[in-house]
Amino acid sequence: MLSPRTVHSMHSWSSIAKWTIFGPLACVIVSVTYNAVVFSNMGDEALRRGITAGIVLPIMLGVPLFLYLSLRLRTLAVINRRLGLVARTDSLTSCLNRGAFTAKVETQLLEAEGPLAGALLIIDADNFKAINDLHGHDAGDEALAILSRAIRSVLKPGDLIGRMGGEEFGVYLPGLDQKETESMAERIRRGVQLAHFAPRGKPHVLTVSIGGAVFAGAASFTDLFRIADQRLYGAKHSGRNRAVVMHAYDSPPIDLRQSA
Catalytic residues: 167
pLDDT of residue 63: 76
Triad 12, 16, 17: Cα angle to 5°: 115
CB-CB contact of 86 with 205 (8 Å): no
**Residue 259 predicted with pLDDT over 60:** no
Tell me: pLDDT of 218 over 60: yes
Q: Are the C-beta atoms of residues 245 and 119 closer than 8 Å to each other?
A: yes
Looking at residue 120, its pLDDT comes to 97
User: φ and ψ at 49, to 5 degrees?
Assistant: -65, -40
Q: 179: pLDDT confidence band, cut at 50, 70 and 90?
A: very high
pLDDT tens, 185-213? Answer: 999 999 999 999 999 898 999 999 999 99
Q: Is 41 exposed, middle or buried (0-12, 13-18, 19+ CB in 10 A)?
A: exposed
Instruction: Determine the average pLDDT of the residues in 208-228.
Output: 94
For 98-250, CATH number out of 3.30.70.20, 2.120.10.10, 3.30.70.270, 3.40.50.300 equals 3.30.70.270
Domain coordinates of the chain in residue numbers? 4-88, 98-250
Asked if 152 and 86 touch (Cβ cutoff 8 Å), the reply is no
